Amino acid sequence: MTELLKVEKLWKKYSVNLKSTAKYAARDILRTSLGFNPAPSELRDSEFWALRDINLDVKRGEVLGILGRNGAGKSTLLKCIANKVRADRGSIDINGELGHLIEMSAGFSPTMTGRDNVKVRGKLIGKSGTNLNIYVDRVAEFADIGEFFDAPVQIYSSGMRARVGFAASVFIDPDILIIDEVLAVGDLSFRLRCYDQINELTRKAAVIFVSHSLGHIARLCNRGLYLHKGETVYTGDIQQAIRLYQDDSESLSAKSAGRHTFNEDLVSMTLLVNEQRTEDGARVNYGDDLGLHIDASKLAHGAQIRILLKDSSHSLVSDWNSFRSALEWPDRYKLLSAELGKAELNPGSYSFTLQIMDPTGVNLLCMSNSVSFMVKGTRFYDLPSQRLAKWDFNNPDDKFANQPIESMPDVNRN
């Protein structure tokens, strides 16, 4: 495979102080005006390294996913490669045409129609005559915003603007494509078309992709680069990169898990994995049995207990409610067991929290400390909950096997 991009020993620094930034930039401008290198390669006062010694190469057909928390240096790396900011040390060799999906709606004039803006964009990327008309038609069709395409952009919703921006940017033919957090655009059907279009581009080009969505990364990428505080932690297999990223996220998640508590001393719990009591932060395999031992001794008789399952971003994945299960409280009670079923979850960091309501379900009595755990395994797509179905092919001799689906008996008919 052809090596289209090679980054060697790349370093990039920024200043955290606004005055210093202006001062250093002014010096750098003067230096370039006099024909010198823009900046000394050492740190100056109030500067820090945003990228340190980054090495990577991307070949045609490869899709490199860059992972890392906020401030890890992902976008800075992309901007350096796209020559939108200047690297302080190291080299970037690009063999081919570079395209990028960054700030896609940039340059859209609010008073011009979507069509006119797209025409201008087409001309700027070198299209003319019939090619330009074909480009505009393709963008209109892909953006799918109907008659609004001929209305001024200033009346567009942010979603419509993003759709037109994406469509106008994606019909390009680069050798290297840089994508920075652009797939969270529009509704589900539009996003699916975006994936298809990106997949189409990845067949012909080398792609570098930045996203916080592990699902997007797992779905699109075949190689991973994990950055932490501007340094490479890992580069190689995408699943391994995701695992390492999740391991780091787990510790952060555990630290922040106890932040949103209320009367947390009222109740405590222990996680059971395959009926064994475990410590906080336990490792769980996909499909293991999960349960909780809850110390309910301080709870009022008849309280409603809600078990909340949250993912690493603290989004609610699922809940179990004692009221729905019609839990009957005995006269004397202490330990309450809850069997929660199998851990049919995408790999990642999760936590259980107890929300205790009074028997009426109106007043919050307690929000407990969380118990976190980590699901291991291979990641598929982005949904946290991934249940197992019982899959079975019908017997070929079965009377329904050779009938078209629509001719089968419908239980709802009559």
Partner 1 sequence: MNAAKYQNLHKSLIAGWTLGARSVNIQVKEHMLGYAWNFIIPVIYAICYVYVRQAVLGNRSIVEPADWWDIIRVFSGLTLFQAWYQCLQDMSAFISKNRGMLRGMNVGVSPFIIAVALEASLSFVIRFITIITAILVLGVDLSLSSSEWMWVIGCLFALILSSIAMGMLLSPWAVLFADVRKALQSLSLPLVLITPIFYPAVVDPAYSIYWIEIANPLASPLIVLQHTLSGEGPVFANVMVSWVLLSIFIIWMSAIHIQKQVPILLERMGN
Q: What is the contact surface with partner 1 in residues (CB under 8 A)? A: 14, 21-22, 25-26, 28-29, 32-33, 38, 79, 82-86, 98-100, 102-107, 109, 111-112, 116, 120-121, 123-126, 128, 169
Residue 225 and residue 51 in contact, taking contact as beta carbons nearer than 8 Å? no
Burial status of residue 255 (CB atoms within 10 A of its CB: 0-12, 13-18, 19 or more) = exposed
Dist CA 198 CA 201 (whole Å): 5
CA-nearest of 125, 216, 220, 110 to 168 is: 125
CA-nearest of 251, 247, 341, 330 to 292 is: 341
12/310 with CB nearer partner 1: 12
Give min distance, CB of 64 to partner 1, in A. Answer: 20
63/104 with CB nearer partner 1: 104
Q: Residue 128 has what DSSP assignment?
A: -
Give min distance, CB of 137 to partner 1, in A. Answer: 19
Give min distance, CB of 402 to partner 1, in A. Answer: 55
105/211 with CB nearer partner 1: 105
86/277 with CB nearer partner 1: 86
- What tokens appear for 410 in the block? 């419908």
105/304 with CB nearer partner 1: 105
Give min distance, CB of 83 to partner 1, in A. Answer: 6
Provide the β-strand partners of residue 13. Answer: 49
Dist CA 414 CA 401 (whole Å): 23
Per DSSP, the three-state class of 295 is: strand
Give min distance, CB of 28 to partner 1, in A. Answer: 5
Whole-angstrom CA distances from 81 to 98, 171, 391 are 9, 21, 46
5/104 with CB nearer partner 1: 104
Give min distance, CB of 22 to partner 1, in A. Answer: 5
Q: How many CB atoms lie within 10 A of CB 84?
A: 14
